[in-house]
A = this chain, B = another copy of it.
Amino acid sequence: MTVDVAGAAAALQGADNILILTHRRPDGDTAGCAGALCRGLRQLGKTAYILENPEITKRYAPLIIPCYPTSDFNFAYIVSVDIAEEKLFPDTAEQYKGKVDLVIDHHRSNSGFGAKNLIRPDAGGCAEVLYDVLAALGVRFTRDIAECIYIGVSTDTGCFKFSNTTAHTHAVAAACLTAGIDGGEINRVLFETKSMPRFQMERIVFDTMEFFEDGAVAVALLWRTDIDRTGADMDDLDSIASLTRQIEGVQIGITLTENRDGTVKVSVRTTKEMDAAAICKKCGGGGHIRAAGASLDCGMEEAKAAILTAAREQFHAKQ
């Protein structure tokens, strides 16, 4: 059943003993949504917890860890936030598949796996939807709730840079700043700070980058020994593949990562003239039109030659 903001608020108003689920590889949006909802429900006098997410990173831990259940408890109402499908449940949520009472999300692909579903694909961050729900519930917009909402909205919109940013996104951000958050400091940590491993990974991307077709095709190579030397983790490698495409004139940006087992992960990012999925398909992969990938069971140089051939073919076909 599809519900609107008022419907979701009414459902939450009538519920208690609520458990909130976040998704696998939790990002700022799922953590921010869960943190805001849990704190908002508690403000209304309800019992609410966030299910432990074993993959939470240091960066987003403060949003959800203080809300983990401290004892065994029978939850009567299950809410998922920013989860597009049940396959994305963390391992800890296996038992809740098929049992979600309320889905709050913004992914267009969400088929509505809950008893009630509030899905708003127009929202840049799911935290924008949460903001509207909390407002409908009459929750006071305190600084700690505003921090959760702001982190959700800003991380999912690239700090208001991406095309999913709307007037509503900015209106929610304005409300967060009015609530007293230190936006400048939050943004410095989230968007202006590179860990030393991240810095070293970027240096490797920059150093290995080669250009072809008059700068329209760029290729960067991340060798395993380099990755290991930097000590880079998942957070550090996040979005590293998009660096190649940021250079003016690059229409096809390719990043090759040497896996531990010797296979090669290929990431392709394109500007609007080129089709990343079509390029990757030629190497047995797939994905979206601007962002796609493939896994090649060969060495780095061979993988580079294969994907470069596919990229150049498309480049010439589109001239």
Write the residues of chain A forming the contact surface with B, with a CB cutoff of 8 angstroms: 159-171, 173-175, 177-178, 182-185, 187-188, 191-196, 198-199, 202-203, 206-207, 215, 246-249
Q: In angstroms, how far is the closest chain B Cβ from the Cβ of A79?
A: 28
Copies of this chain, how many? 2
Q: In angstroms, how far is the closest chain B Cβ from the Cβ of A217?
A: 14
Q: Is A193 a contact of B161 with CB atoms below 8 Å?
A: no
Question: Which residues of chain B are within 8 angstroms of A166 by Cβ–Cβ distance?
Answer: 177
Given the contacts A194-B247, A202-B206, A248-B194, A167 and B175 also touching, CB distance less than 8 Å = yes
Given the contacts A196-B248, A206-B203, A206-B206, A167 and B161 also touching, CB distance less than 8 Å = no
A199 to B202 Cα, complex, angstroms: 12
Question: Which residues of chain B are within 8 angstroms of A165 by Cβ–Cβ distance?
Answer: 177, 183-184
- The listed residue (B160, B182, B198, B203) touching A159 by CB distance below 8 A is B160
A168 to B171 Cα, complex, angstroms: 10
Q: Is B207 a contact of A183 with CB atoms below 8 Å?
A: no
Question: Which residues of chain B are within 8 angstroms of A194 by Cβ–Cβ distance?
Answer: 246-248
Q: Is B177 a contact of A174 with CB atoms below 8 Å?
A: no
